[in-house]
A = this chain, B = another copy of it.
Amino acid sequence: MKNIKIIIEYDGTNYAGWQKQKNAITIQGVIERALEQISGKHTKINGCSRTDAGVHAKAFVASFLTESSIPEDKFKYALNSKLPEDILVLSSEEVPLDFHARYSSKGKTYSYTILNREASIAIGRNYVCHFKKPLDICAMEESYKYLIGTHDFSAFKSSGSSVKNNIRTITDINSKRYEDIIKINISANGFLYNMARIIVGTLFDVGTQKIKPEQIEFIMDSKDRRNAGISAPAKGLCLEKVFY
């Protein structure tokens, strides 16, 4: 028995998210089918996260136990030969049996990309969230200090999650503007359901002067989802890195 860790890049546009579902095409479902084709056996793959429909990943980590005789580094080529072009295995390697893509993870970095201008975009439209009103990036950056650190992020969690402990640590938030594009990077030891997207939705309120940067502290303390902003659209979100 071997434990194989794979790193995957995917364009989530055409998928109902990572997690396997009965009546929808998901990334986990497609990779498990490819793995069955090459190993001859159905094998469950554990993902580092349950990304939503339309969310992308540059370095999603997954792991699976297998008795296949395929050499560790050859899973990459074998899987890619069966996968569609919007899912790409970047690497495959054997890891200790106690490694689990999700439970062994120490943290993750997500990026969120905003096209901030009046006109929409056709080329690359699936990788950005189009936000028309001008965003005051300085005000947004002013608010990061209220988000960074260890907090109860209940206000930044969608309902429908069974997770009980809502305390997480954001280790870093930073943003850059290149012309009309704003890219925000958020690193944390873990993310609650829709947490990254609700943080960005709340930053939209800060960036449009609907709320002041320091009101983030009040929202956090309230632990009430209704005080935070919208859940920003999925297509701007991308899993950049997982830490172990």
Give min CB distance, A51 to chain B, whole Å.
13
- Complex interface: stretch among A64-72, A119-127, A160-168, A176-184: A119-127
Q: List chain B residues, Cβ under 8 A from A108.
A: none
Q: List chain B residues, Cβ under 8 A from A86.
A: 122, 125
0/1 string, A112-139, CB within 8 A of B gives 1: 0000000111111101000000000000
Given A11-B125, A125-B11 in contact, is the A120-B58 Cβ separation under 8 Å?
no
Give min CB distance, A82 to chain B, whole Å.
14
Q: List chain B residues, Cβ under 8 A from A192.
A: none
Pairwise interchain contact A123-B58, C-beta atoms closer than 8 A: yes
Task: Name the interface residues of A209-231: CB closer than 8 Å to any CB of B.
Answer: none
Pairwise interchain contact A85-B124, C-beta atoms closer than 8 A: no
Q: List chain B residues, Cβ under 8 A from A58.
A: 123
Q: List chain B residues, Cβ under 8 A from A124.
A: 11, 124, 127
Task: Name the interface residues of A1-43: CB closer than 8 Å to any CB of B.
Answer: 9-11
A interface size (C-beta, 8 A): 20
Report the Cα distance A124→B85, complex, angstroms.
11
Report the Cα distance A127→B126, complex, angstroms.
12
Pairwise interchain contact A10-B88, C-beta atoms closer than 8 A: no
Pairwise interchain contact A85-B125, C-beta atoms closer than 8 A: yes
Q: List chain B residues, Cβ under 8 A from A10.
A: 122-123
0/1 string, A78-98, CB within 8 A of B gives 1: 001000011110100000000
Report if A56 contacts B (CB, 8 A): yes
Q: List chain B residues, Cβ under 8 A from A11.
A: 122-125
Report if A45 contacts B (CB, 8 A): no
Q: Please report A residues at the B interface, Cβ cutoff 8 Å.
A: 9-11, 56, 58, 80, 85-88, 90, 119-125, 127, 238
19 contacts between A and B (CB under 8 A): A9-B122, A9-B123, A10-B123, A11-B122, A11-B125, A56-B123, A58-B123, A80-B120, A85-B120, A85-B122, A85-B125, A86-B122, A86-B125, A88-B121, A88-B122, A123-B127, A123-B238, A124-B124, A124-B127
Q: Which 4 A-B pairs have the closest CB atoms?
A: A88-B122, A9-B122, A11-B122, A11-B123
